[in-house]
Chains A and B, each alone.
Chain A
C-alpha cells in the first residue's frame, strides 16, 4: 500500500497562475482533507470530503476549490494564485470508527507563489 500520495512535491507559481494539487489514497477511506501549514500557524483545514461526490468548506477555504469525483482522489485547485497561498499543503484521509479518527497524511506539497 502506498497510503496517501500527493502530486507534485514542489511547485513555484507566479501570481495569477492556476494549478491543481492531486491527492490519492489506496486505503478505501471515506474521508479526505486538505490542510495548509504555515510557520507559527499550525495546520489549518481548507476543505474536506466525507465521501465521493461531496465536499465542504473548512476553516480557510477562500481562494481554493476542491473536487472528489472518485473515492480515492481529492483534488485541490487554485484558480488565481496569490503570494498569501505560499505554504505547505497536506492531504489526509481517514475512516471513522466511533469517536476515533486517525488521519493519515501525505508527504506534502511545497508551493511558492511569487
Chain B
C-alpha cells in the first residue's frame, strides 16, 4: 500500500507563532502533491498545491523535496482561524493511478489566544 505519513500532533501554538508540518510519502512515482485542510466535522478542502520549486500563498509556504520524498507546510503568524487538521495528500503514479489521491491521517493544529 502506498503510504503518506504525518505527525498526528496535536500542535498547540499561541497566536502569532510559526508552525511547520512535515510529511513523507512512499511512492517515488507520485506526480502531484497537496495540502488539504479539514475543520472539525467538516469536509476536506484544498489549501494549496505543492510544486517542486516551492510555493507561497500569503502566510502559507509549501515545500517539496522529491529526493527525500518529503513535503512541508509552514504557517506564519498563526491565527485562531487556522485551527484545523491539515492533510498531506499525494496522487498516484502515472496512468490509471494518477487521479487517485492518497491521504495522510492529518496533523491537528490548535492555535490558542
Contact = CB atoms under 8 A, between A and B. Distances in A.
A59 B1 contact: yes
A42 B104 contact: yes
Contacts of A50: 99
A24 to B, nearest CB: 15
A105 B45 contact: yes
A96 interface: yes
A108 B42 CA distance: 7
Nearest to A40: B105
A42 B87 contact: yes
A99 B100 contact: no
Contacts, number: 46
A113 to B, nearest CB: 19
A108 B101 contact: no
Interface residues of B, number: 20
A93 to B, nearest CB: 11
B99 A43 contact: no
Contact of B44 (A31, A43, A94): A43
B43 to A, nearest CB: 4
B103 A42 contact: yes
Contacts of B31: 99
B63 interface: no
Interface in A5-40: 31, 40
A90 B45 CA distance: 12
Interface string B19-41: 00000000000011010000000
A45 B46 CA distance: 17
A31 B87 CA distance: 21
A94 B43 CA distance: 15
Given A45-B100, A45-B101, 11 more contacts: A42-B87, A42-B104, A42-B105, A42-B106, A48-B100, A50-B99, A90-B43, A101-B99, A103-B46, A105-B43, A107-B43
Interface of A: 31, 40-45, 48, 50, 58-59, 90, 94, 96, 99-103, 105-108
Interface of B: 1, 31-32, 34, 42-46, 49, 87, 91, 98-101, 103-106
